[in-house]
Amino acid sequence: MKRNLPGPLYDATVLKNTYSGQNCSIAGALELVGERWTLLILRDAFLGTRRFDEFQSSLSVARNVLQTRLERLVDAGILRRERYQERPERFEYRLTRKGADLWPVIVALLKWGDTYAAPNGPPVVIRHAGCGGEIDDRRICMKCGKHLEAHEARPEPGPGALAA
Amino acid sequence: MKRNLPGPLYDATVLKNTYSGQNCSIAGALELVGERWTLLILRDAFLGTRRFDEFQSSLSVARNVLQTRLERLVDAGILRRERYQERPERFEYRLTRKGADLWPVIVALLKWGDTYAAPNGPPVVIRHAGCGGEIDDRRICMKCGKHLEAHEARPEPGPGALAA
Protein backbone atom coordinates (compact mmCIF):
# COMPACT_ATOMS: atom_id res chain seq x y z
CA MET A 1 0.00 0.00 0.00
CA LYS A 2 2.98 2.33 -0.43
CA ARG A 3 3.27 4.73 -3.32
CA ASN A 4 6.64 4.98 -5.03
CA LEU A 5 6.28 8.13 -7.08
CA PRO A 6 3.93 11.05 -6.84
CA GLY A 7 2.84 10.46 -10.46
CA PRO A 8 1.81 12.91 -13.17
CA LEU A 9 -1.41 14.06 -11.54
CA TYR A 10 0.49 15.32 -8.53
CA ASP A 11 3.22 17.00 -10.53
CA ALA A 12 0.58 19.26 -12.01
CA THR A 13 -0.22 20.77 -8.63
CA VAL A 14 1.62 22.93 -6.16
CA LEU A 15 0.19 20.99 -3.26
CA LYS A 16 2.50 19.55 -0.70
CA ASN A 17 2.36 15.80 -0.96
CA THR A 18 0.95 15.40 2.51
CA TYR A 19 0.47 11.65 2.50
CA SER A 20 3.28 10.73 0.14
CA GLY A 21 3.91 7.29 1.66
CA GLN A 22 0.39 6.12 0.88
CA ASN A 23 -0.54 4.35 -2.36
CA CYS A 24 -4.21 5.02 -1.86
CA SER A 25 -6.89 6.88 -3.76
CA ILE A 26 -8.30 8.27 -0.53
CA ALA A 27 -4.91 9.70 0.43
CA GLY A 28 -4.58 11.02 -3.12
CA ALA A 29 -7.97 12.70 -2.87
CA LEU A 30 -7.14 14.21 0.51
CA GLU A 31 -3.88 15.61 -0.82
CA LEU A 32 -6.02 17.67 -3.18
CA VAL A 33 -9.02 18.52 -1.02
CA GLY A 34 -8.05 17.61 2.56
CA GLU A 35 -6.74 20.94 3.75
CA ARG A 36 -8.67 22.94 6.28
CA TRP A 37 -11.39 25.06 4.59
CA THR A 38 -10.99 23.43 1.20
CA LEU A 39 -14.10 21.26 1.38
CA LEU A 40 -16.12 24.20 2.72
CA ILE A 41 -14.96 26.30 -0.23
CA LEU A 42 -16.16 23.52 -2.51
CA ARG A 43 -19.44 23.27 -0.62
CA ASP A 44 -19.98 26.97 -1.31
CA ALA A 45 -19.05 26.48 -4.95
CA PHE A 46 -21.77 23.81 -5.19
CA LEU A 47 -24.19 26.28 -3.62
CA GLY A 48 -23.38 28.75 -6.41
CA THR A 49 -20.72 30.95 -4.80
CA ARG A 50 -18.23 32.23 -7.38
CA ARG A 51 -16.59 35.44 -6.20
CA PHE A 52 -13.82 35.93 -3.71
CA ASP A 53 -15.79 38.30 -1.50
CA GLU A 54 -18.75 35.94 -1.43
CA PHE A 55 -16.55 33.05 -0.31
CA GLN A 56 -14.92 35.29 2.25
CA SER A 57 -18.20 36.50 3.65
CA SER A 58 -19.65 32.98 3.81
CA LEU A 59 -16.60 31.41 5.43
CA SER A 60 -15.22 34.23 7.58
CA VAL A 61 -11.78 32.86 6.85
CA ALA A 62 -8.65 35.03 6.65
CA ARG A 63 -8.33 36.48 3.14
CA ASN A 64 -4.79 35.18 2.64
CA VAL A 65 -5.84 31.66 3.63
CA LEU A 66 -8.79 31.85 1.23
CA GLN A 67 -6.57 33.15 -1.55
CA THR A 68 -4.08 30.31 -1.06
CA ARG A 69 -6.81 27.67 -1.01
CA LEU A 70 -8.47 29.03 -4.14
CA GLU A 71 -5.16 29.15 -5.99
CA ARG A 72 -4.38 25.57 -5.05
CA LEU A 73 -7.81 24.42 -6.20
CA VAL A 74 -7.20 26.19 -9.52
CA ASP A 75 -3.74 24.61 -9.82
CA ALA A 76 -5.26 21.20 -9.07
CA GLY A 77 -7.83 21.70 -11.83
CA ILE A 78 -10.76 21.58 -9.41
CA LEU A 79 -11.79 25.23 -9.86
CA ARG A 80 -11.15 27.45 -12.86
CA ARG A 81 -10.61 31.18 -12.63
CA GLU A 82 -12.60 33.23 -15.13
CA ARG A 83 -12.59 36.94 -15.77
CA TYR A 84 -16.07 38.39 -15.52
CA GLN A 85 -15.16 42.10 -15.68
CA GLU A 86 -12.45 43.97 -17.60
CA ARG A 87 -11.97 47.33 -15.90
CA PRO A 88 -11.00 46.78 -13.21
CA GLU A 89 -10.25 43.15 -13.91
CA ARG A 90 -12.32 40.84 -11.75
CA PHE A 91 -12.37 37.06 -11.61
CA GLU A 92 -14.67 34.39 -10.40
CA TYR A 93 -14.10 30.75 -9.52
CA ARG A 94 -16.12 27.96 -11.06
CA LEU A 95 -16.10 24.22 -10.59
CA THR A 96 -14.47 22.26 -13.38
CA ARG A 97 -15.71 18.76 -14.23
CA LYS A 98 -13.08 17.43 -11.83
CA GLY A 99 -14.49 19.71 -9.15
CA ALA A 100 -18.11 18.88 -9.92
CA ASP A 101 -17.20 15.20 -9.55
CA LEU A 102 -16.58 15.88 -5.85
CA TRP A 103 -20.33 16.14 -5.32
CA PRO A 104 -20.55 12.60 -3.87
CA VAL A 105 -17.97 13.56 -1.23
CA ILE A 106 -19.90 16.69 -0.32
CA VAL A 107 -23.22 14.82 -0.11
CA ALA A 108 -21.69 12.00 1.96
CA LEU A 109 -20.27 14.49 4.48
CA LEU A 110 -23.56 16.40 4.56
CA LYS A 111 -25.66 13.29 5.18
CA TRP A 112 -23.38 12.03 7.95
CA GLY A 113 -23.33 15.50 9.48
CA ASP A 114 -27.13 15.66 9.30
CA THR A 115 -27.26 12.52 11.42
CA TYR A 116 -24.45 13.20 13.88
CA ALA A 117 -23.58 16.89 13.87
CA ALA A 118 -26.84 18.75 13.35
CA PRO A 119 -28.56 18.91 16.73
CA ASN A 120 -31.30 21.21 15.39
CA GLY A 121 -31.91 19.11 12.28
CA PRO A 122 -30.42 19.46 8.81
CA PRO A 123 -29.60 23.11 8.03
CA VAL A 124 -29.79 22.31 4.31
CA VAL A 125 -31.94 19.79 2.49
CA ILE A 126 -31.02 18.70 -1.03
CA ARG A 127 -33.88 17.99 -3.38
CA HIS A 128 -34.25 16.63 -6.88
CA ALA A 129 -35.00 19.79 -8.86
CA GLY A 130 -37.17 17.80 -11.29
CA CYS A 131 -39.73 16.32 -8.87
CA GLY A 132 -38.95 17.94 -5.52
CA GLY A 133 -38.07 14.69 -3.75
CA GLU A 134 -35.32 14.60 -1.15
CA ILE A 135 -32.11 12.82 -2.06
CA ASP A 136 -30.78 9.98 0.02
CA ASP A 137 -27.17 9.26 0.92
CA ARG A 138 -26.65 7.44 -2.39
CA ARG A 139 -27.80 10.57 -4.25
CA ILE A 140 -30.98 8.85 -5.34
CA CYS A 141 -34.27 10.75 -5.33
CA MET A 142 -36.44 9.30 -2.58
CA LYS A 143 -39.58 10.27 -4.50
CA CYS A 144 -38.97 9.22 -8.11
CA GLY A 145 -35.91 6.98 -7.72
CA LYS A 146 -33.71 8.84 -10.20
CA HIS A 147 -29.96 8.54 -9.72
CA LEU A 148 -29.07 12.21 -9.50
CA GLU A 149 -26.12 14.25 -10.67
CA ALA A 150 -25.13 17.54 -9.07
CA HIS A 151 -26.84 19.70 -11.71
CA GLU A 152 -30.18 17.96 -11.02
CA ALA A 153 -30.11 18.81 -7.33
CA ARG A 154 -31.30 21.92 -5.53
CA PRO A 155 -30.39 22.87 -1.97
CA GLU A 156 -32.94 24.55 0.24
CA PRO A 157 -33.02 25.59 3.90
CA GLY A 158 -33.89 22.69 6.20
CA PRO A 159 -35.30 22.57 9.76
CA GLY A 160 -31.89 23.36 11.26
CA ALA A 161 -31.63 26.61 9.32
CA LEU A 162 -34.36 28.16 11.48
CA ALA A 163 -32.23 27.79 14.59
CA ALA A 164 -29.69 30.29 13.28
CA MET B 1 -26.11 29.53 7.48
CA LYS B 2 -24.52 30.57 10.80
CA ARG B 3 -24.60 28.37 13.85
CA ASN B 4 -25.41 29.97 17.17
CA LEU B 5 -24.40 27.29 19.62
CA PRO B 6 -22.14 24.32 19.34
CA GLY B 7 -24.93 22.03 20.50
CA PRO B 8 -24.84 18.89 22.63
CA LEU B 9 -23.04 16.71 20.08
CA TYR B 10 -20.06 19.03 20.16
CA ASP B 11 -19.97 19.39 23.91
CA ALA B 12 -19.35 15.67 24.11
CA THR B 13 -16.06 15.98 22.29
CA VAL B 14 -12.73 17.56 23.05
CA LEU B 15 -12.36 18.73 19.48
CA LYS B 16 -11.68 22.33 18.80
CA ASN B 17 -14.69 23.81 17.08
CA THR B 18 -12.77 24.58 13.91
CA TYR B 19 -15.63 25.92 11.84
CA SER B 20 -17.74 27.34 14.64
CA GLY B 21 -19.28 30.11 12.53
CA GLN B 22 -20.86 27.63 10.14
CA ASN B 23 -24.36 26.22 10.61
CA CYS B 24 -23.73 23.38 8.23
CA SER B 25 -23.69 19.61 8.48
CA ILE B 26 -20.61 19.44 6.29
CA ALA B 27 -18.73 21.78 8.62
CA GLY B 28 -20.03 19.76 11.54
CA ALA B 29 -18.78 16.55 9.98
CA LEU B 30 -15.39 18.08 9.22
CA GLU B 31 -15.03 19.26 12.81
CA LEU B 32 -15.13 15.60 13.78
CA VAL B 33 -13.23 13.98 10.91
CA GLY B 34 -11.53 16.82 9.03
CA GLU B 35 -8.18 16.82 10.77
CA ARG B 36 -5.09 15.64 8.94
CA TRP B 37 -4.73 11.82 9.18
CA THR B 38 -8.17 11.28 10.67
CA LEU B 39 -9.83 10.03 7.50
CA LEU B 40 -6.85 7.79 6.77
CA ILE B 41 -7.14 6.30 10.25
CA LEU B 42 -10.79 5.60 9.51
CA ARG B 43 -9.89 4.12 6.12
CA ASP B 44 -7.58 1.69 7.92
CA ALA B 45 -10.29 0.91 10.45
CA PHE B 46 -12.61 -0.03 7.56
CA LEU B 47 -9.83 -2.26 6.20
CA GLY B 48 -9.75 -4.10 9.53
CA THR B 49 -6.92 -2.33 11.37
CA ARG B 50 -7.50 -2.25 15.11
CA ARG B 51 -4.23 -1.93 17.01
CA PHE B 52 -2.11 1.12 17.60
CA ASP B 53 1.04 -0.41 16.11
CA GLU B 54 -0.84 -1.53 13.01
CA PHE B 55 -2.18 1.98 12.46
CA GLN B 56 1.26 3.39 13.05
CA SER B 57 2.91 1.03 10.65
CA SER B 58 0.31 1.61 7.95
CA LEU B 59 0.33 5.39 8.26
CA SER B 60 3.95 6.16 9.21
CA VAL B 61 2.58 9.04 11.25
CA ALA B 62 4.22 10.30 14.44
CA ARG B 63 3.04 8.24 17.40
CA ASN B 64 1.93 11.26 19.40
CA VAL B 65 -0.14 12.54 16.47
CA LEU B 66 -1.72 9.11 16.03
CA GLN B 67 -2.45 8.88 19.75
CA THR B 68 -4.15 12.27 19.75
CA ARG B 69 -6.24 11.45 16.69
CA LEU B 70 -7.34 8.10 18.10
CA GLU B 71 -8.29 9.67 21.41
CA ARG B 72 -10.34 12.34 19.67
CA LEU B 73 -12.13 9.73 17.58
CA VAL B 74 -12.95 7.82 20.76
CA ASP B 75 -14.15 11.01 22.45
CA ALA B 76 -16.30 11.78 19.42
CA GLY B 77 -17.86 8.31 19.61
CA ILE B 78 -16.51 7.29 16.21
CA LEU B 79 -14.12 4.64 17.52
CA ARG B 80 -14.38 2.70 20.75
CA ARG B 81 -11.39 1.50 22.73
CA GLU B 82 -11.57 -2.11 23.84
CA ARG B 83 -9.21 -4.11 25.98
CA TYR B 84 -8.09 -7.29 24.24
CA GLN B 85 -5.37 -8.36 26.69
CA GLU B 86 -5.10 -8.09 30.48
CA ARG B 87 -1.41 -8.46 31.41
CA PRO B 88 -0.04 -6.20 30.17
CA GLU B 89 -3.21 -4.30 29.37
CA ARG B 90 -3.61 -3.77 25.63
CA PHE B 91 -6.36 -2.04 23.75
CA GLU B 92 -7.69 -1.99 20.25
CA TYR B 93 -9.84 0.52 18.40
CA ARG B 94 -13.05 -0.46 16.65
CA LEU B 95 -15.55 1.50 14.63
CA THR B 96 -18.79 2.31 16.42
CA ARG B 97 -22.04 2.57 14.48
CA LYS B 98 -21.34 6.30 14.15
CA GLY B 99 -17.92 5.46 12.72
CA ALA B 100 -19.23 2.76 10.40
CA ASP B 101 -21.72 5.29 9.06
CA LEU B 102 -18.76 7.20 7.60
CA TRP B 103 -18.39 4.51 4.96
CA PRO B 104 -20.12 6.64 2.29
CA VAL B 105 -17.54 9.40 2.87
CA ILE B 106 -14.66 6.94 2.55
CA VAL B 107 -16.10 5.39 -0.63
CA ALA B 108 -16.79 8.81 -2.18
CA LEU B 109 -13.20 9.92 -1.57
CA LEU B 110 -11.88 6.60 -2.87
CA LYS B 111 -13.92 6.74 -6.06
CA TRP B 112 -12.93 10.35 -6.81
CA GLY B 113 -9.31 9.52 -6.05
CA ASP B 114 -9.50 6.48 -8.35
CA THR B 115 -10.47 8.84 -11.16
CA TYR B 116 -8.22 11.79 -10.45
CA ALA B 117 -5.39 10.75 -8.14
CA ALA B 118 -4.50 7.17 -9.09
CA PRO B 119 -2.24 7.41 -12.15
CA ASN B 120 -1.54 3.66 -12.07
CA GLY B 121 -5.17 2.70 -11.62
CA PRO B 122 -7.11 2.03 -8.42
CA PRO B 123 -4.84 0.61 -5.70
CA VAL B 124 -7.88 -0.91 -4.02
CA VAL B 125 -11.09 -2.23 -5.54
CA ILE B 126 -14.16 -2.70 -3.38
CA ARG B 127 -16.38 -5.65 -4.21
CA HIS B 128 -19.71 -6.96 -3.02
CA ALA B 129 -18.65 -9.91 -0.86
CA GLY B 130 -21.84 -11.77 -1.77
CA CYS B 131 -21.51 -11.88 -5.56
CA GLY B 132 -18.04 -10.44 -6.28
CA GLY B 133 -19.30 -7.47 -8.29
CA GLU B 134 -17.53 -4.13 -8.06
CA ILE B 135 -19.32 -1.33 -6.25
CA ASP B 136 -20.03 1.96 -7.95
CA ASP B 137 -19.81 5.43 -6.44
CA ARG B 138 -23.33 5.10 -5.01
CA ARG B 139 -22.23 1.92 -3.20
CA ILE B 140 -24.42 -0.19 -5.45
CA CYS B 141 -23.13 -3.54 -6.71
CA MET B 142 -22.52 -3.22 -10.44
CA LYS B 143 -23.21 -6.93 -10.92
CA CYS B 144 -26.31 -7.70 -8.87
CA GLY B 145 -27.62 -4.19 -8.17
CA LYS B 146 -27.74 -4.54 -4.37
CA HIS B 147 -27.48 -1.33 -2.34
CA LEU B 148 -24.52 -2.24 -0.16
CA GLU B 149 -23.60 -1.51 3.44
CA ALA B 150 -20.03 -1.53 4.69
CA HIS B 151 -20.22 -5.03 6.14
CA GLU B 152 -21.23 -6.44 2.73
CA ALA B 153 -18.15 -5.05 1.00
CA ARG B 154 -14.68 -6.52 0.64
CA PRO B 155 -11.60 -4.59 -0.43
CA GLU B 156 -9.01 -6.24 -2.63
CA PRO B 157 -5.84 -5.02 -4.35
CA GLY B 158 -6.56 -3.27 -7.65
CA PRO B 159 -4.37 -2.63 -10.72
CA GLY B 160 -2.65 0.32 -9.01
CA ALA B 161 -1.45 -1.89 -6.16
CA LEU B 162 1.00 -3.63 -8.49
CA ALA B 163 2.85 -0.39 -9.15
CA ALA B 164 3.97 -0.19 -5.53
Q: Which residue of B2, B43, B120 is in closest CB contact with A26? A: B43
Q: Indicate whether A27 and A7 sit together in one domain.
A: yes
The answer to whether B7 contacts A161, with C-beta atoms less than 8 Å apart, is no
Question: Does the structure show a pLDDT above 70 at B7?
Answer: no
pLDDT per position as a tens digit, A10-52:
332 333 346 766 789 999 999 999 988 999 999 999 999 999 9
Tell me, yes or no, if the pTM score tops 0.90.
no
Average pLDDT estimate for A88-110: 96
Question: Does the structure show a pLDDT above 70 at B106?
Answer: yes
Q: Indicate whether B58 and B89 sit together in one domain.
A: yes
Q: Indicate whether A112 and A159 sit together in one domain.
A: yes
Question: Does the structure show a pLDDT above 90 at A5?
Answer: no
Question: What pLDDT is recorded for position A149?
Answer: 95
Average pLDDT estimate for B44-71: 95
The alpha carbon of residue A22 is apart from the nearest alpha carbon of chain B, in Å, by: 7
The answer to whether B119 contacts A8, with C-beta atoms less than 8 Å apart, is yes
pLDDT per position as a tens digit, A119-164:
999 999 999 999 999 999 999 999 999 999 999 999 999 999 876 5
Residue finishing a domain among A96, A126, A148: A96
Q: Indicate whether A20 and A43 sit together in one domain.
A: no
Question: What pLDDT is recorded for position A14?
Answer: 32
Q: Indicate whether A16 and A50 sit together in one domain.
A: no
Q: Indicate whether B39 and B91 sit together in one domain.
A: yes
Q: Which residue has the higher pLDDT, B97 or B35?
A: B97
Question: What pLDDT is recorded for position A164?
Answer: 52
Q: Indicate whether B47 and B88 sit together in one domain.
A: yes
Whether chain B has a CB inside 8 Å of the CB on A74: the answer is no
Q: Which residue has the higher pLDDT, B144 or B9?
A: B144
List the one residue out of B112, B125, B72 whose CA is nearest residue A109.
B112
Band (pLDDT 50/70/90 cuts) for residue B161 is confident
Question: What pLDDT is recorded for position B66?
Answer: 96
Average pLDDT estimate for A50-73: 95
Q: Indicate whether A14 and A2 sit together in one domain.
A: yes
Q: Best residue in B3, B10, B15, B24 to probe A by mutation, most A CBs within 10 Å?
A: B24
Q: Which domain holds residue B122?
A: 103-161
Residue B10 is assigned to a structural domain of this protein: no
Q: Indicate whether B121 and B79 sit together in one domain.
A: no
Task: Give chain B as a 3 state SS string.
Answer: CCCCCCCHHHHCCCCCCCCCCCCCHHHHHHHHHCCCCHHHHHHHHHCCCCEHHHHHHHHCCCHHHHHHHHHHHHHCCCEEEEEEECCCCEEEEEECHHHHCCHHHHHHHHHHHHHHCCCCCCCEEEEECCCCCEECCCCEECCCCCECCHHHEEEEECHHHCCC
Residue B77 is assigned to a structural domain of this protein: yes
Whether chain B has a CB inside 8 Å of the CB on A109: the answer is yes
DSSP state of A3: -
| Domain CATH code at residue B54 | 1.10.10.10
Residue B9 is assigned to a structural domain of this protein: no
- Report d(CA A30, CA A75) in Å as an integer: 15
Question: What pLDDT is recorded for position B136?
Answer: 97
Residue B155 is assigned to a structural domain of this protein: yes
Residue B76 is assigned to a structural domain of this protein: yes
ipTM field: 0.86
The CA distances from residue B144 to A145, B125, B154, in Å, are: 18, 17, 15
The answer to whether B104 contacts A102, with C-beta atoms less than 8 Å apart, is no
Chain B residue at shortest CA distance from A121: B25
State the total domains in chain B: 2
